[in-house]
Amino acid sequence: MGSKASENARSVEIPFRVTKSSHLVVRAKINNKGPFNFIVDTGAPVCFFTLEAGKTIGLTADENGWCILDKFTLEGGLISEKHRVKLETPFQLVGMNGMALGGMELHGLIGYDLLARHKIEIDVSNETMVWTPLDFTPKFPLGVSGKSTPGSLDALGAFMKTIGTFTGKKQDLPPELRGSLGIIIKSGIGELVVLETLKDSPGNIAGILPGDLILKLNDVQTNSLEQLLQVYRSIPAGKKVKIEILRKRQILTLELSPGKGL
């Protein structure tokens, strides 16, 4: 028998992107900084965050390379607090970034220790996956307590990076990162209902409330979360967003200014 959803568990829709190398990548903020690109890696025993990215936001590791994050927030609003990550650059990421196999700069891996705590539903024909917290605490994986990966694997990563340099392969220019509206949405049949607005988010500041029904985004009718995301991503960065909602039989139009990152 599988683990049951934890009490009062709420499913969260998390946007993802399929890379050129067919990996699933999600965006996340670390201690409210970012966003950073993480591969959803069922083969990784724990979560890894690259040394280079960690330095940019002032993270430090203990003698064994571990770092406790105050907050690990996946795009869509799933939050893991006091989560332990390995502050290390795995050879896979060295190689993939060196040869531009991901089509974007990759900053980490989301591994078993976080994945096992959730029921995850993935349909690659959609733009979002669904994560539901489980009442389950996985055992800490063996073999990851010490520092760094085997030297031969590090050498392989460096070799792949060198090959990438010689072949001239470079990362695609990253897409414009659109700030989040800061709203958690329940996607039903033909309707989008606001479940919650995140504190101090653009949606919260604009006055969006739980129970509001989203009708249009920038005058485009939106009947599904995929359609909402598609319209939202087409809006030029730095532009304000107009959202039309239905609240208690009254149609309202609100204007939001998305923040940076997620």
What residue ranges of the chain are covered by domains with CATH 2.30.42.10? 183-256
- Per the CB < 8 A criterion, the answer to whether 32 and 76 are in contact is no
Under the banding of pLDDT at 50, 70 and 90, the label for residue 141 is low
pLDDT tens across 17-67, in order? Answer: 888 778 899 999 999 998 899 999 988 889 999 999 999 999 999 988 899
What mean pLDDT is predicted for residues 214-220?
Answer: 90
Instruction: Transcribe 18-62 into DSSP letters.
Output: E-TTS-EEEEEEETTEEEEEEEE-TT-SS-EE-HHHHHHTT----
How high is the pLDDT of residue 121? 95
pLDDT tens across 112-134, in order? Answer: 999 999 999 999 888 899 999 99
User: Lowest mean pLDDT: which of 53-62, 134-143, 190-199, 222-231?
Assistant: 134-143
pTM: 0.62
How high is the pLDDT of residue 111? 92
Alpha carbon distance 175, 18 (integer Å): 14
Residue 261 has pLDDT above 50, yes or no: no
pLDDT tens across 235-254, in order? Answer: 776 678 899 999 998 999 99
Residue 175 has pLDDT above 50, yes or no: no
Torsion sign across C-alpha atoms 72, 226, 201, 33? positive
CATH assignment of 12-167, among 3.40.50.720, 3.40.50.450, 3.40.630.30, 2.40.70.10: 2.40.70.10
Higher pLDDT, 118 or 3: 118
Residue 157, classed as helix, strand or coil, is: helix
Q: Within its chain, how far is the Cα of 38 from the centroid?
A: 7
- Per the CB < 8 A criterion, the answer to whether 161 and 93 are in contact is no
Residue 158 has pLDDT above 60, yes or no: no
Under the banding of pLDDT at 50, 70 and 90, the label for residue 6 is low
Under the banding of pLDDT at 50, 70 and 90, the label for residue 157 is very low
Percentage of the chain beyond pLDDT 90 is 38
Percentage of the chain beyond pLDDT 70 is 76
CATH architecture of 183-256: Roll (2.30)
How high is the pLDDT of residue 7? 63
How high is the pLDDT of residue 132? 93
What residue ranges of the chain are covered by domains with CATH 2.40.70.10? 12-167
